[in-house]
Chains A and B, each alone.
Chain A
Amino acid sequence: MDLSIIIFLLGGLFLGWSLGANDAANVFGTAVGTRMVRFKTAAIVCSIFVILGAIISGAGTTETLGKLGAINALPGAFAACVAAGLSVYLMTKVGLPVSTTQAIVGAIVGWNLYTGSATNVKILITILGTWVLCPVISGLIAMAFYSFTKNFLLKRKLHILRLDAYTRTALLLAGAFGAYSLGANNIANVMGVFVPISPFTDISISSFFVFSSKEQLFLLGGIAIAVGVFTYSKRVMFTVGNDLLKMSPVAAFIVVISHSIVLFLFASQGISNILQSVNLPSIPLVPVSSSQAVVGAVIGIGLLKGGKEVQWSIAGKITVGWFTLPVIAAVISMLLLFILSNIFNLSVSF
């Protein structure tokens, strides 16, 4: 493989690392923040299931992102990924759980603007709409789960220690599901822009198993996410777990499961097909923000408790990050594209 291709792919891997450091932390942030699951355990489980989710169910959201702006040159994809990764890194540095989804969308729109390509407004509106829907749905699911769990526990009269053991198990299972959903939903952010220009070829192992070039890309992206989880996610986990709302371990479980369901809904081709088959509106397969899903769930529980315990200042800071992130990513993207095309004389589009 050409060395330049590897260098360009590094852009995507950097973004994957950022996603692992930031968004993946949302999956286990509440569990680790409440000290119910150790960071090391969380990182291992998270990594395995993110990779599985990416390879098995990552195709749907990738297709949608490809429609927003089909970056058709490797240097262009490199610039978009580095721009998104850099903007997420900057936000992570200040401890804010921002969204890789918003960063990559900002970066792709930046590429569209720089190269004069048309932005698919319909897809953009669909994506923006899901960004609003995502925390709302997550909050509603969390509220429903919270009420149910509270009543259930009051009736069951579990010993505090037994409840602790069950909660730990539930947190780990929900975390695994969350990591799978995250991989399925967000791998598009990391490797989506490389799919149309994949440098890999399909690998056939006997006639039964074909490891497609797309899957190879997703595996690579999944590994990059895993590296991000291990090297840089601890701080964001504690921000998510402790700062926004002081949570009980059971509430932490509810946050993780609500977040996971939302991410799964927006990534599942199967659920989308079922809804279509019974003439219901299908769910758009869009990469949504795991950060927004977590914040939505946490605020949902906080509101159910009367809203007094929610640290609104932190919620506000996170919201500001959501608005500024796509803009920052778009600006950095255009800047990088300018540098690549004018200083390095590379074609950033065809």
Chain B
Amino acid sequence: MFGLKSSSLFSDTKKLEREIDEFVDILSEVGLVFKNIIPTYLNHSANTQFDEMVEKVKGMESKADKITKEVEHTLYEETLIPDARSDVLRLLEHMDEIIGMYQGNCYHFSIQKPNFPKEFHQDLIELTDTVVNCVEALCLTVRSFFRDIKTVRDNGHKVTFYEKESDIKFSALARRIFDSELSLDQKMHLRYFVEKIDRICDQAEDIADEIQIYAIKRSV
């Protein structure tokens, strides 16, 4: 009827809704796995449990990629949400980048095996928790964008809050690392990891800012 059969319009819509929800679920779950990966690594260095978690992240990343492609295909094929299509696709791609960043961090820990002295463990775990909380707030913002644009601002504000927290924790940890007695090469190595984790928050904040703009565009 509209370029696609009317009977399939609503079924396609429901399928897409499910896929987008599933995608946001994956982003949230990857974060929760990542939250456990760091303490696991710090306590046991790389071991079987750690490797299993990395594999799990890898599997979820592949699934997220598949969903992105399917959503992209359906949106263009069936000319759905013509006014917001590019925004939605960009949003999914940028969220997918966060999943990629989580995965990248896992791989770097797995390959480079950074040696974090015990005195930095708690700070690193707290930084990771803040980053995951930030992405969780982003997930809420994304869900708001799709269902309830009135709450986009509130949830977006939480993302900004956690991003600032993360910056503070990153700076404090980096300062402590460079104030320590470690060799410069090790300091640089650890800083690299801390910075990479913190960057997830920057990406989340950028996406939350984008969503605020998309929400304005989406207003009736």
**A residues bordering B, Cβ < 8 Å?**
34-38, 41, 146, 149-150, 153-154, 157-162, 164-165, 168-169, 172, 248-251
Contacts and interface: CB of A to CB of B under 8 A. Distances in A.
A103 to B, nearest CB: 33
Contacts of B88: 160
B1 interface: yes
For the complex of A and B, 5 pairs with smallest distance between CB atoms: A35-B82, A157-B148, A165-B13, A164-B81, A38-B3
A245 to B, nearest CB: 13
A162 B17 contact: yes
A37 B1 CA distance: 8
Contacts of A41: 1-3
B89 interface: no
Contacts of A158: 147
A168 B82 CA distance: 11
A36 B150 contact: no
A160 B81 contact: yes
Chain A, interface SS category: helix
Contacts, number: 64
A176 to B, nearest CB: 11
Interface in B1-27: 1-3, 6, 9-10, 13-14, 16-17, 20
Given A37-B2, A158-B147, A172-B2, A149 B82 contact: no
B82 A154 contact: no
Contacts of B10: 165
Given A160-B145, A160-B146, A248-B219, 7 more contacts: A36-B82, A150-B219, A153-B220, A162-B14, A169-B6, A169-B9, A248-B220
- A150, A162, A250, A251 interface centre (most CB from chain B within 10 Å): A162
A165 B9 contact: yes
Indicate the size class of the contact surface on chain B: 20 to 34
Contacts of A35: 79, 82-83
Contacts of A36: 2, 82
Contacts of A249: 82-83
Contacts of A37: 2
Given A38-B2, A41-B3, A159-B146, A168 B9 contact: yes
- A34, A35, A146 interface centre (most CB from chain B within 10 Å): A35
B82 A160 contact: no
A157 B146 CA distance: 9
B218 interface: yes
Given A38-B3, A158-B147, A168-B2, A250 B220 contact: yes
Contacts of B16: 161
B80 interface: yes
Contact of B80 (A154, A161, A248): A161
Interface string B67-91: 0000000000001111110001000
B83 A159 contact: no
B17 A164 contact: no
Nearest to A164: B81
27 contacts: A35-B79, A36-B2, A36-B82, A41-B2, A41-B3, A150-B219, A150-B220, A154-B150, A157-B147, A157-B148, A160-B81, A160-B84, A160-B88, A160-B145, A160-B146, A160-B218, A161-B20, A161-B80, A161-B81, A162-B13, A162-B14, A165-B10, A169-B6, A169-B9, A248-B83, A249-B82, A251-B220
Given A36-B82, A161-B16, A249-B83, A146 B220 contact: yes
Interface string B26-45: 00000000000000000000
Nearest to A250: B220
Contacts of B20: 161
Contacts of A150: 219-220
Nearest to B75: A161
Nearest to A147: B220
B213 to A, nearest CB: 15
